[in-house]
A and B are shown apart, each in its own frame.
Chain A
């Protein structure tokens, strides 16, 4: 039995190492444990897919890494987030500002509302460059235009002066990506970067992210509830459920040998080209409210393979194979 996230990428120091991260929200109805002891790590240049249904705590995990959880009502209550060995949860706010947008960047889900409507798109990209690279207005503007070109916005000199409302959703998401990558971050967090877009535009954005990763070599934390997107981009997958990691595995292994019944359910709900649509099976039930978690395993009330002990005590993380862990009693003792 193994706790934590050892045994991955032997010999390589991870870029980001999250350990026991706990983020809670103090609401009127009680304390919501949105992220309840999440641990995983990201190696330099690696793409991790963070998946799970809506409400599992993926976005809160991302915001916690950036220390952008709205406080109040939220608060990071425990754990550590090491970036190159430095704990981001322990440094001052001033130091953290040098990390945001510079070493770690984030692209949010909603391109329509994530850009400030009263500033031009170019200015919003330029601002990040001017802030972190200590460049003058002219140099930072030139570099901002280069960034717009990099994300394949046509006619970037002209588009620089456009306001967000003059651009389509896909173009705006490109601006967001340009802004995020403008200071060559070591890690890009992409929180459902294509979910809010039209299907055809979604594919273009994923295509763009693939290209940029190739070109710039940054690590990517790709958050999505769409396993098909993960299959395109990620090398390793972390599955979250109700605030905890329930499974972690290399991409191929996860698809071939899912160890957790929740992952099974997620995989079964991917539409397959060769299967009739009726066969598409979503997992019955919904993600529990973090205010009302079931006793024992958090998935137990929806689990088709539930055993008696599942609703008594919560299982720990069990090693299934090299780099493959699962939070399910079925995997107890099955490890290497």
Chain B
């Protein structure tokens, strides 16, 4: 198991380097100029060239790449061109915020997805199953920005139940304790729902199918023939088998959640990495874009590694060490 994890981590490291390299060159090949923000009749072109030189942006791209990679490896993510602040401190602010949003969405994704999927499978062709199917298809196919706007319209503007943007109310910091936690939770509901519900719908569909397949297996009949109550047959004997492919699905859905967070954060003014990335891309703020890319790549790769480990833990037929069988 340990050898497997080490091998995977080494592979992942290589993958991260490739991802960063590709991103670096794509960014520099794309049209646009980080200095564009200084283009202004009152700023002399010479001044702009001076800034460009000072930032090293006048050097050949390959030279810039090696210089940047050199400091990146040493943990120096550089300075944001846009905010004139260390990228590291921007990330330190944004990462926990994004994690709060994506973890909430992930929990919704898993819990709601599995719950609805299992009920749908057990009560196949019932009114619940039909409503569930149609709703899932609807939620899955509408664009998330539209869903976000609808949710804001209904729950914030019409009903006034939930706040429509930011992570907490102005001055909520003074509340402290439970009041602050509640205020933050209320701010979390809409963005987490918008971010998680589409993948939850997908998960519910997948879970239903997986569960229906398993419920047809001979060993389910064996479990019933033992005299086990149906609840135990479903939740113990069937669910553990049906969950095996689901673990992989969760790993695969991480990039989509993080990608979705970009749009969701922008709409809900959520000060996370998504918003930071979008703004940085518009401003051609290379160091920030590269650093957020790095963080996302690491999260996705770790998520997949965890999914593989979970897969091996759930399914005794799989040995993580590979072909020769596990120790």
* A-to-B contact residues, CB < 8 Å: 66, 68, 97-102, 105-106, 108, 110, 113-119, 124, 127-128, 131-132, 163, 165, 176, 179
Contact = CB atoms under 8 A, between A and B. Distances in A.
Contacts of A113: 217-219
A179 to B, nearest CB: 7
B227 A163 contact: no
Contacts of A97: 227-229
Nearest to B229: A97
Contacts of B217: 113
B226 A131 contact: yes
7 contacts: A101-B226, A108-B225, A114-B219, A115-B219, A128-B226, A131-B227, A165-B317
A113 B213 CA distance: 13
Nearest to A120: B316
Interface in B166-223: 217-219, 221-223
B241 interface: yes
Nearest to A176: B222
B222 A100 contact: no
A59 to B, nearest CB: 11
Nearest to B215: A70
Contact of A163 (B224, B241, B317): B317
Given A97-B227, A116-B219, A118-B244, 13 more contacts: A98-B227, A100-B224, A105-B225, A108-B225, A114-B219, A115-B219, A117-B219, A119-B237, A128-B226, A128-B227, A131-B228, A176-B222, A179-B222
Nearest to A179: B226
Contacts, number: 67
Contacts of B229: 97
A99 B225 CA distance: 9
Given A108-B218, A108-B221, A118 B227 contact: no
B314 interface: yes
B63 interface: no
Nearest to B214: A116
Contacts of A108: 218, 221-222, 225
The 8 closest A-B pairs by CB, nearest first: A100-B227, A101-B227, A101-B226, A113-B218, A116-B219, A163-B316, A128-B226, A97-B227
Contacts of B317: 117, 163, 165
A205 B219 CA distance: 20
A186 B132 CA distance: 45
A100 B230 CA distance: 13
Interface residues of B, number: 20
Nearest to B315: A118
B240 interface: yes
Contacts of B225: 66, 68, 100-101, 105-106, 108
Contacts of A116: 219, 222-223, 237, 241
A179 B225 CA distance: 10
B227 A102 contact: yes
Contacts of A124: 222
A238 to B, nearest CB: 21
B241 A132 contact: no
A185 to B, nearest CB: 10
B246 to A, nearest CB: 13
Interface string B244-263: 10000000000000000000
A118 B241 contact: yes
A102 B227 CA distance: 8
Contacts of A105: 225
Interface in B134-159: none
Nearest to A118: B240
Contact of A117 (B226, B227, B241): B241
Nearest to B239: A118
Contacts of B219: 113-117
Contacts of B240: 118-119
A108 B218 CA distance: 9
Contacts of A176: 222
Given A97-B229, A98-B227, A131-B227, A118 B314 contact: yes
B53 to A, nearest CB: 63
Contacts of A131: 226-228
Contacts of B241: 116-118
B241 to A, nearest CB: 6
B280 to A, nearest CB: 46
